[in-house]
Amino acid sequence: MTDPKLPPLVHAGVPVLRAQARAVRADELDRAPLLDLIDTMVAVMRDAPGVGLAAPQIGVGLRVVVLEDRAELMARLPEEQKKARDRRPFPLTVLINPTLRFEGEARATFLEGCLSVPGYMALVERSLEVVVNASDAHGNPIELREKGWPARILQHELDHLDGTLYVDRMLSRSFSTSQETAARWIGRSTEQIKEGLGVR
Ligand code: ZN
């Protein structure tokens, strides 16, 4: 049950999800409004539950992202799928004004969903390894070098800050309801999903 004190998630169709979010100014760091926003975002992410949340997803056009992947969120995924995706717990991380660069040429294609596009999933090809530079809520610099699933979450969440949704990048023939994904595809390999849905 969604906590009634939390702001609602903003869904596709609302302009803030398609806008360029504004950078957080230096004088906004380490101040109550930003720290309160981060607390709210973490609560919304955990309540959903999701593995990441960008401020536009609660209607705030600021370049703020929170991420956290916990063992219980991946409990349904078979061991070999966790391994294929390189999905592993990722500690709670707050990123202010993040920038991302792709590291190397390797790409990977897996199913992805989004709290702002509820009820659906699709295959999305993304870079396997990324480097993200940002600051934390207090203005301390952060550099993350991530591979596998954490790299995918970072690319997905940072896209939100530029008004991009996964549906802009998906292999559109793989677009599936969450229900059919759970019934048919969650334990299958990307190749099996592509074969089954005629993804070319
Ligand atoms: Zn999303």
Say what the pTM is: 0.95
Distance CA 123, CA 98 (A): 25
CA torsion sign, 188 to 190 to 12 to 156? positive
What distance in angstroms lies between residue 118's CA and the mean position of ligand 1's atoms?
10
SS (H, E, C) 91-108: EEEEEEEEEEEECCCCEE
Name the percent of the chain lying above pLDDT 90.
86
pLDDT digit string (tens) for 23-55?
Answer: 999 999 999 999 999 999 999 999 999 999 999
Say how many Å lie between the CA of residue 155 and the centre of ligand 1.
Answer: 10
Q: How far apart are CA 76 and CA 182, in angstroms?
A: 10
Indicate the residue type of 84.
A
Average pLDDT, the chain: 95
- Six-digit token pair at 160? 């939100």
pLDDT digits (tens, 9 = 90+) for 102-143: 999 999 999 999 999 999 999 999 999 999 999 999 999 999
Q: Is 129 a catalytic residue?
A: no
Set 68, 112, 146, 157: catalytic member: 157
- 111: CA distance to ligand 1 center in Å? 13
Protein residues near ligand 1, an ion, with CB under 5 A? 114
Please indicate whether residue 3 or residue 155 has the higher confidence score (pLDDT): 155
Q: Is the pLDDT of residue 2 over 70?
A: no
Q: Tell me what pLDDT residue 1 has.
A: 55
The Å distance, Cα 157 to ligand 1 centre, comes to: 6
